[in-house]
Structure 1
Amino acid sequence: MNTSFSMSLRRLSVFVILLATLGCQKRDDAVAEPQTITDRLLEDSQFGLLRAAVAYAGVSDALKDGNMTLFAPTDAAFQASGITAESIRAMTPAQVRALVLYHVLYGQVAISAIPSGANSVEMASKGIAFVNKSTDGAVSINNAKLTQTTITVANGYIHTIDRVLVPATGSMLAAIQNNPNLTYLAAALKRVSTSSPALVDMLTSTTAANGVTVFAPTDAAFMMDKVYNTKTAIESANVQTLTNTLLYHVIPGAVFSNQLQSGTYNTLLSGSKLIVTVGAGQITVKGAKNATLSSVKQADVLTNNGVIHLIDQVLLP
Structure 2
Amino acid sequence: MNIKKSYDIFRAFNFLVFCVLMLLMASCRKDEFMPVPEGEIVPSEEATANLKEVLSATSYTLFKAAWARSTMEAKLKTYGERTKFTLFVPTDAAFLADGMTLEKINTTSPEVLDELLMYHTIASGVNPRDLVARLDNTIEKSILPNPALRTKPISPFNSGGSDPYFYRQYLKVEQGHLYINGKDAGNVQPISAKNGILWPVNRLLHKPTKTMLQALQDDGRFGIYLDVMQRCSDLYFEITEYNLERPWTPGLVVDETQGPPYVNIVFSSLLAPTDAAFHTAGFADADAVMEFNKKRGLPYVDWDLGEVVGMFASDYLLTLHRWSDLIYPKSANYSFGGRANSTCFYSNDLNNDLLGNYMLRDGQYDGTLPVMTMPLEFGKTANGAVTIKAKGSTHTPATIIDGDINTLMGPIHAVDHLIPTADFKF
TM-score by structure 2 length? 0.53
Q: Could you tell me which residue of structure 2 aligns to residue 204 of structure 1?
A: 253
Counterpart CA distance in 2 for 1:75 and 1:212 is 31
Asked whether 1:216 is paired with 2:272, we answer yes
8 Å contact 1:68–1:107 — kept in the other structure?
A: yes
Q: How far does the alpha carbon of each residue in 1:128-176 deviate from its partner, in whole angstroms, 9 at most, with x for none? A: 2242458999864312458466533343333444443221113222221
Please state whether the residue corresponding to 2:210 is helix, strand or coil: coil
What SS does the corresponding residue of 2:207 show, helix, strand or coil? coil
Match of 1:72 among 56, 68, 88: 88
- Distance in structure 2 (CA, Å) of the matches to 1:215 and 1:178: 16
CA offsets per residue over residues 203-238 of structure 1, 9 Å max, x none?
Answer: 336969993332211122223323x43222445645
Structure 2 SS opposite 1:315: coil
Paired residue secondary structure (1:249): helix
Q: Indicate if the aligned counterparts of 2:251 and 2:265 stay in contact, CA closer than 8 A.
A: no
Match in the other structure for 1:290: 395
Partner of 1:256: 346
Q: Would the aligned equivalents of 1:119 and 1:131 in 2 still touch at CA under 8 Å?
A: yes
Distance 1:304 1:156 in 2: 27
Structure 1 segment 272-283 matched on structure 2, within 5 A: 272-280=375-383, 282-283=385-386
Contact 2:351 2:378 in 1 (8 A): no
Q: Choose which of 123, 145, 153 in structure 1 pairs with 2:142.
A: 123
Identity of aligned residues (%): 20
Residues 91-127 of structure 1, C-alpha deviation per residue, up to 9 Å, x if partnerless? 8434333221111123445457779534544421224
SS at the partner of 2:400? Answer: strand
Change in 2 beyond 3 A, CA 1:60/1:78: farther
5+ long unaligned stretches in structure 2: 1-47, 146-165, 238-244, 256-262, 299-310, 324-341, 361-371, 422-426
> Contact (CA 8 Å) 2:179, 2:185: kept in 1 or not?
yes
**Which stretch of structure 1 is more off in the superposition, 201-210 or 237-246?**
201-210
What's the RMSD between the two structures over aligned residues?
A: 4.1
Matches within 5 A, 1:175-190: 175-190=215-230
Q: TM-score, normalised by structure 1?
A: 0.68
The count of residues paired between Structure 1 and Structure 2 equals 279
Q: How far apart, CA to CA, are the structure 1 residues paired with 2:254 and 2:313?
A: 23
Residues 31-79 of structure 1: CA deviation (Å, up to 9, x unaligned): xxx844333222112x333223323444344346633423413417727
- Identify the match of residue 231 of structure 1 among 279, 286, 306: 286
Alignment partners' CA distance in 1, 2:112 and 2:373: 42
Q: 2:65 aligns with which of 35, 52, 72?
A: 52
Contact 2:212 2:409 in 1 (8 A): yes
Segment of structure 1 superposing worse, 62-71 or 101-110: 62-71
**Would you say 1:106 and 2:123 are equivalent positions?**
yes
Q: Which has the higher helix share?
A: 1
Moved more, 234-243 or 214-223: 234-243
1:243 aligns with 2:315: yes
The separation in 2 between residues aligned to 1:152 and 1:243, in whole angstroms, is 51
Change (3 A) 1:64 1:144: farther
Q: 1:216 touches 1:309 (CA, 8 Å); kept in 2?
A: yes
